[in-house]
Amino acid sequence: MDYTLKIWRQKNSKAKGKFVSYKISNISPDASFLEMLDILNDQIIEEGGDPVAFDSDCREGICGMCSLYINGRPHGPDHGITVCQMHMRNFKDGSTITIEPWRAKPFPIIKDLMVDRSAFDEIIQAGGYISVNTGGVPDANAIPIPKDNADLAMDAAACIGCGACVAACKNASAMLFVSASVSHFALLPQGRLEAKKRVKAMIARMDELGFGNCSNTGACEAECPKEIKLTNIARLNREYYAAHL
């Protein structure tokens, strides 16, 4: 399969970037998208050029590093997967593929397709944890938790912090990411002791870092590779309101 790749190239956060077109041929339809980029970089290096910088790690859809805008969509045209899980059979032979980094002020570009997503780490450091002494590891059934709550908490904990929600949002809001973390703890008894402190601290840090407000368009849920639900944002709002009573 042959493709034309329009890739955003930018030397650093202060340099002016631009799209550069590349031709790539004989790509297997079973190759992953990142394998295709590896092949492209081998081709660029052989021609004496500077390879395209992009992030990747696990290549199993669990770390969120492979965050790219592909043909105008975070993580590409498929649903419920990350870039590293996508294969080239998702694109027509001879088509043009546009590849960009996340576009959000709190995610400055490092180089080419790499962005600095450490803002998410700062939000987690503000309160996305349990610091109280919970004692030793209890038996599995020692703390009774309703199954519905346990299931919802596990669904929220599936968030991998890739930033697709921010990239998809017209306001660059991080509310889906923050709500997933808050929901994870709010639904479990271990997280209730610090619930008020947690939600206030995480939202305050999110605002300080320059993320926008949520306007409930639903783009974040539609593009989330782990299908985190908007209902978590509703829970976040309730937790925030309760924290100020």
What is the C-alpha to C-alpha distance for residues 201 and 111, in angstroms, rounded to an integer?
31
Report the distance separating Cα 240 and Cα 11, nearest Å: 41
pLDDT score for 142: 79
Architecture of domain 117-243: Orthogonal Bundle (1.10)
Neighbours of 169 (CB within 10 A): 24
Phi, psi (5° rounding) for residue 152?
-65, -40
Closest CA to 186 of 168, 200, 166: 200
Q: What is the pLDDT of residue 133?
A: 76
Give the integer Cα–Cα distance in Å for 115 and 136. Answer: 39
Show the tokens assigned to 106.
Answer: 């709190």
Which residues, including other chains, have CB under 8 Å from residue 132's CB and lie 6 or more apart?
193, 194
Helix 175-186 crosses helix 195-208 at what angle (to 10 degrees)?
170
**Predicted confidence pLDDT, tens digits, the chain (245 residues):** 999 999 999 999 999 999 999 999 999 999 999 999 999 999 999 999 999 999 999 999 999 999 999 999 999 999 999 999 999 999 999 999 999 999 999 999 999 999 999 999 999 999 999 998 767 777 767 788 999 999 999 999 999 999 999 999 999 999 999 999 999 999 999 899 999 999 999 999 999 999 999 999 999 999 999 999 999 999 999 999 999 98
Reported as type and span, the H/E element at residue 114 is strand 114-115
Question: Which helix (H) or strand (E) element contains residue 42?
Answer: helix 33-46
pLDDT for res 117: 97
Question: What's the distance, CA 42 to chain centroid?
Answer: 27
Q: Domain 3-110 - what CATH class?
A: alpha beta
Q: What pLDDT shows up at residue 190?
A: 87
Q: Which of 169, 154, 166, 147 is nearest to 216 (CA)?
A: 169
Backbone CA torsion sign across 222, 227, 231, 235:
negative
Return the SS3 of 24: strand
What is the sign of the dihedral through the CA atoms of 29, 56, 112 and 78? positive
Domain locations in the chain as residue ranges: 3-110, 117-243
